[in-house]
A and B are shown apart, each in its own frame.
Chain A
Amino acid sequence: NAGVTQTPKFRILKIGQSMTLQCTQDMNHNYMYWYRQDPGMGLKLIYYSVGAGITDKGEVPNGYNVSRSTTEDFPLRLELAAPSQTSVYFCASSYPQDTDTQYFGPGTRLTVL
């Protein structure tokens, strides 16, 4: 199993540009999550999904959108990039029976200039 994969690994955006961060898992996990990690801060939950077609906001959803058309994929969309969205983004997944053990992808480092 590849686990949780994320693309791209790095990206630089200009203010106002848009992009989609891709996340795929091959473990047949129902639950998927998007976090951002800022320096000196813990992870903050952006959005999560408990299954295909179901998504919900986390702690810091503003400026982001998600979709979950399949069990495997959970893309994160930034519509109008802002410098405040400069961060490292992590996707994670888990079984519904054990949501406490989350499996993380390697992360996407995004810089907005």
Chain B
Amino acid sequence: AQSVAQPEDQVNVAEGNPLTVKCTYSVSGNPYLFWYVQYPNRGLQFLLKYITGDNLVKGSYGFEAEFNKSQTSFHLKKPSALVSDSALYFCAVRERNTGGFKTIFGAGTRLFVKA
């Protein structure tokens, strides 16, 4: 069975500092991996995805994520955090060759960026 874990409920970082939001996954075969962001009282917004190819994926708003197969991780990163990055971040996974309806979402990590 596939699963995804976000080990931190909350991440605090000062504005201008680099940020990392962690995600690890478990699937039977090759994974497709995603990050979504949720701002208060809004639905989730797609940030980026890893399908195949380069392990470093760049997405919206200056975010990037690195796929590490040996560590089964897909951590979200940004070189310099902004206060406006404060939101709830969800990692998601599904096994290759399955449909989008097989996507499993993590519990979410709340990011606080302090001015």
| Chain A residues proximal to chain B, CB less than 8 Å | 4, 31, 33, 35, 40-43, 45, 48, 50, 56, 58, 90, 92, 94, 99-107
Contact = CB atoms under 8 A, between A and B. Distances in A.
Contact of B107 (A4, A40, A100, A105): A40
A58 B49 CA distance: 22
B43 A100 contact: no
Given A42-B106, A48-B101, A104 B4 contact: no
B41 interface: yes
Interface residues of B, number: 25
Chain A to chain B: the 6 pairs with minimum beta-carbon distance, closest first: A99-B100, A104-B43, A42-B105, A43-B105, A48-B101, A104-B44
A107 B107 CA distance: 17
21 contacts: A31-B100, A40-B107, A41-B107, A45-B101, A90-B43, A90-B44, A94-B100, A99-B100, A99-B101, A100-B34, A100-B49, A100-B51, A100-B100, A100-B103, A102-B100, A104-B44, A104-B45, A105-B43, A106-B42, A107-B42, A107-B43
B58 to A, nearest CB: 15
A18 B41 CA distance: 24
Contacts of A33: 100-101
Nearest to A57: B101
Contacts of B46: 101-103
Interface in B4-29: 4, 9
Contact of B43 (A56, A92, A94, A101): A92
